[in-house]
RNA sequence: GCCCCCGUAGCUCAGAUGGAUAGAGCAACGGAUUCCUAAUCCGUGUGCCGGACGUUCGAAUCGUCUCGGGGGCGCCA
């Protein structure tokens, strides 16, 4: 829709140049935006203001010339010059009404576009260590990553979702030892639990599982022999829980990438070798360093510690090299905000390998503050009593949970009130949007009962009955859905779709309250049913992108 | 000390590539249901866009500085 306007303006500029009215042959990068106010028309452009310095004429004078050309297009009702030199374009109502036809014809496909042109994008998210259950912060990352993937797909990108499993290293040892000790305790031994072990209740559950499957044969095993066994067992068990939680949360990955597998395939060695070949490796203080400062990082980074073991970053460079070389046009990392210091070094890696680091996009997920009736719910991972995603989704439901996670920009703090998310009060935005869909379905059901004709074609006579201000306003909003999806994809900001839906519901509910859809007038009824059906379709399409259901009944 | 993010109405937040008189929701108060779902709607008002300077025809948006909040900071992940 907006693109069409941009083309009209472009043609107008070129023809004005052809007739010698303006000197500039190549139009400047003018904006086309939906007008903020009704009196400014449907769309506005700043083209004349940008041309003014080039033409050495007043912007309003130039605007006057272009205006005439734009007004000549058949879709255009009228065209005005306003303010400092804006050109405001008013479209004919018939142009807007055609949006309804598009929606009914395209159905679930309405809002999709080809702007991504099939470019391959990889989104890596959650990637929680398999050392415990997913907590609420992972849930936010899951909702954002999954919705982003949906939105990118809708905008025509070829998307792959991936989960990176940190299944080697010290934390896995700690996990193994923690489970081993708990299992000894369950078998009646007195143990002392070291400070740095995992203390959550789930450790005991995994230990009990272990005993159920393996009996008591490790009861008196020496720790250094037992830990690897328990580590592998616990890692697999916890990863399985994570998969289940995510599946129940509505998130499925295309690929699970194991750090251990990367190490075993020798990719870490190979990556270090390559960087070495490029001359960015040096040894100091007994450690092996990567000179990332040459690529904008603030410090050089250790890859191999003095004790010979590798850092986490060593695996990560192998992982990111692998991702970049898999040929994605963009790789997206969705990280917790506490990792933001990490971006510089990964960016440095990408550049050191000779790639443009614009292939990398990092999205940071800020912390979630869990509230209950406005009072903070205590969270302390250290005490082993952090709130899990499972607890929250079981309490408030997946729909409310996902919607709340997507209600804010991901890099902004989020207050998540459990009671609000559960409430059926009007101030709960999840239901506000879902109810919009359910309500329309109910209206259509009622109309069928009454024997009303559900319209199938779009003759102008029918559409001309949609002549109220509110109706046109709704239609315009429906028409902008595709642009919202495109911009949401381009900016990688899923919350824009959430806001769009709240606005849509905010237009529909008042309309419903003011106007009766099913009336004695069959033509008017048909026209309004058509509009309502379109609203329901777009609401459902938007909710689907967020991974939130669109119920027919509530 | 250095780096990153944030600062917009009482609260929680939107704000497009820099555009016109900066917007929602909530909270507060008052109202609406013989009629398609009241999980809804109608009405009542609030801003030094943290501050200063700069770039620009034009700045909440870009730059520098500054104040306040959060986070990160060589061999943790």
Question: Å between A343 CA and B5 C1'?
Answer: 13
Task: Decide if pLDDT at A402 tops 80.
Answer: yes
pLDDT one-digit tens code per residue, A501-533: 999 999 999 999 999 999 999 889 999 999 999
Residue A385 pLDDT grade (very low, low, confident, very high; cuts 50, 70, 90): very low
Question: Å between A386 CA and B39 C1'?
Answer: 31
What is the DSSP annotation of A170-196?
HHHHHHHHHHHHHHHHHTT------TT
Question: Å between A300 CA and B4 C1'?
Answer: 17
Q: Determine the Cα–Cα distance for residues A88 and A67; give it in Å rounded to an integer.
A: 9
Closest CA to A459 of A536, A533, A530, A534: A530
Contact A346, A316 (CB under 8 A): yes
DSSP A553: -
What is the predicted pLDDT for the residue at A245? Answer: 96
Residue A39 pLDDT grade (very low, low, confident, very high; cuts 50, 70, 90): confident
What value does the mean pLDDT take over residues A267-289?
93
What is the predicted pLDDT for the residue at A157? Answer: 95
Contact A289, A301 (CB under 8 A): yes
Question: Å between A361 CA and B50 C1'?
Answer: 30
Average pLDDT of chain A is 89
What is the predicted pLDDT for the residue at A457? Answer: 67
What is the predicted pLDDT for the residue at A98? Answer: 84
Task: Decide if pLDDT at A458 tops 60.
Answer: yes
Q: Determine the Cα–Cα distance for residues A497 and A487; give it in Å rounded to an integer.
A: 9
Task: Decide if pLDDT at A339 tops 90.
Answer: no
CB-hemisphere CA count at 13 Å for A188?
A: 1
Task: Decide if pLDDT at A342 tops 50.
Answer: yes
Specify the nucleotide whose C1' lies closest to residue A306 (CA). B75
Beta pairing partners, A90 = A78
Question: Å between A164 CA and B7 C1'?
Answer: 34
Specify the nucleotide whose C1' lies closest to residue A517 (CA). B36
Using DSSP, state whether A495 is helix, strand or coil: helix
Query: Can you tell me which residue has the tokens 């415990």?
Result: A132
Helices (H), A156-288: 170-186, 201-214, 223-248, 259-264, 267-277
Q: Determine the Cα–Cα distance for residues A481 and A536; give it in Å rounded to an integer.
A: 13
Would strands A414-417 and A368-372 be described as parallel, antiparallel, or unpaired?
Answer: parallel
Specify the nucleotide whose C1' lies closest to residue A424 (CA). B39
What is the predicted pLDDT for the residue at A321? Answer: 94
Q: What percentage of chain A exceeds 70 in pLDDT?
A: 97
Phi, psi of A330 (to 5 degrees): -140, 135
Task: Decide if pLDDT at A376 tops 80.
Answer: no
Task: Decide if pLDDT at A381 tops 50.
Answer: no
Task: Decide if pLDDT at A287 tops 80.
Answer: yes
Contacts of A217 (CB under 8 A, 6+ apart): none
- Judged by average pLDDT, the poorest of A177-191, A198-212, A403-417 is A403-417
What is the predicted pLDDT for the residue at A75? Answer: 87
Question: Å between A119 CA and B8 C1'?
Answer: 37
Question: Å between A418 CA and B26 C1'?
Answer: 15
Closest CA to A314 of A263, A359, A355: A263
What value does the mean pLDDT take over residues A401-411?
89
Task: Decide if pLDDT at A384 tops 50.
Answer: no
Q: Determine the Cα–Cα distance for residues A376 and A549; give it in Å rounded to an integer.
A: 28
Task: Decide if pLDDT at A103 tops 60.
Answer: yes
3-state secondary structure A373-424: CCEECCCCHHHCCCCEHHHHHHHHCHHHHHHHHCCCCCCCCEEEEHHHHHCC
Residue nearest B69, CA–C1′ metric: A413
Task: Decide if pLDDT at A45 tops 60.
Answer: yes
Residue nearest B22, CA–C1′ metric: A36
What is the CB neighbour count within 10 angstroms for residue A247?
11
- Judged by average pLDDT, the poorest of A53-67, A101-115, A430-444 is A53-67
* Domains contained in chain A, CATH given: 2-91 (3.30.1360.70), 97-114+428-546 (1.10.730.10), 170-248 (no CATH)
What is the predicted pLDDT for the residue at A379? Answer: 58
Q: Which of A306-320, A371-385, A407-421 has the highest mean pLDDT?
A: A306-320
Task: Decide if pLDDT at A454 tops 80.
Answer: no
What value does the mean pLDDT take over residues A58-75?
89
Strand B nucleotides within 7 Å of a protein CB: 2-6, 12-17, 19-20, 23-27, 35-37, 39-42, 57, 70-77
ipTM given for this complex: 0.92
Task: Decide if pLDDT at A383 tops 50.
Answer: no
Q: Determine the Cα–Cα distance for residues A410 and A365; give it in Å rounded to an integer.
A: 5
């Amino acid at each position: 829709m907006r693109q069409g306007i941009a083309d009209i303006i472009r043609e107008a500029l070129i023809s004005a140049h052809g007739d010698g009215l303006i000197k500039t042959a190549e139009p400047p990068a003018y904006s086309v935006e939906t007008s903020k106010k009704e009196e400014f028309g449907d769309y506005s452009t700043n083209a004349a203001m940008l041309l003014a310095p080039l033409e050495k004429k007043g912007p309003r004078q130039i605007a006057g010339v272009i205006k005439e050309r734009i007004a000549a297009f058949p879709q255009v009702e009228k065209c005005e010059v306003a303010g400092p030199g804006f050109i405001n374009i008013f479209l004919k109502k018939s142009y807007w009404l055609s949006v309804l036809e598009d929606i009914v014809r395209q159905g679930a496909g309405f809002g999709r576009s080809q702007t991504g042109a099939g470019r391959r994008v990889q989104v890596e998210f959650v990637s929680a260590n398999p050392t415990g259950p997913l907590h609420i912060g992972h849930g936010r990352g899951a909702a954002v990553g999954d919705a982003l993937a949906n939105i990118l797909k809708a905008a025509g990108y070829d998307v792959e979702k991936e989960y990176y499993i940190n299944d080697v290293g010290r934390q896995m040892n700690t996990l193994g030892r923690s489970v081993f000790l708990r299992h000894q305790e369950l078998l009646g031994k007195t143990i002392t639990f070291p400070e740095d072990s995992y203390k959550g209740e789930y450790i005991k559950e995994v230990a009990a599982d272990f005993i159920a499957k393996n009996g008591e044969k490790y009861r008196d095993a020496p720790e250094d022999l037992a830990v690897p066994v328990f580590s592998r067992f616990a890692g697999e068990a916890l990863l399985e829980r994570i998969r289940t939680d995510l599946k129940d949360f509505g998130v499925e990955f295309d690929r699970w990438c194991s750090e251990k597998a990367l190490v075993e395939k020798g990719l870490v060695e190979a990556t270090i070798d390559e960087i070495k070949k490029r001359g960015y490796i040096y040894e100091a203080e007994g450690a092996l360093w990567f000179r990332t400062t040459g690529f904008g990082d603030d410090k050089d980074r250790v890859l191999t510690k003095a004790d010979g073991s590798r850092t986490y970053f060593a695996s990560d460079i192998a992982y990111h090299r692998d991702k970049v070389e898999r040929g994605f046009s963009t790789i997206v990392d969705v990280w917790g905000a506490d990792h933001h210091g990490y971006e510089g070094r990964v960016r440095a890696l990408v550049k050191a390998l000779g790639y443009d680091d614009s292939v990398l996009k990092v999205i940071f997920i800020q912390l979630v503050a869990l509230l209950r009736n406005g009072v903070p719910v205590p969270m302390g991972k250290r005490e082993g009593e952090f709130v899990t995603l499972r607890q929250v989704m079981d309490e408030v439901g997946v729909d409310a949970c996902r919607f709340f996670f997507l209600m804010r920009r991901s890099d902004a703090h989020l207050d998540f009130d459990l009671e609000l998310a559960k409430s059926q009060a009007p101030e709960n935005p999840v239901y506000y949007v879902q109810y919009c869909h359910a309500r329309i379905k109910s209206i259509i059901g009622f109309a069928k009962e009454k024997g009303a004709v559900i319209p199938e074609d779009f003759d102008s006579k029918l559409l001309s009955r949609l002549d109220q201000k509110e109706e046109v306003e709704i239609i315009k909003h429906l028409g902008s859905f595709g642009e919202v999806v495109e911009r949401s994809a381009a900016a990688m900001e899923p919350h824009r779709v959430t806001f769009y839906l709240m606005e849509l519901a905010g237009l529909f509910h008042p309309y419903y309250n003011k106007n009766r859809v099913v009336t004695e007038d069959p033509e008017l009824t048909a026209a309004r049913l058509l509009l309502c059906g379109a609203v329901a379709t777009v609401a459902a399409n938007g909710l689907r992108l967020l991974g939130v259901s669109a119920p027919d009944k509530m």
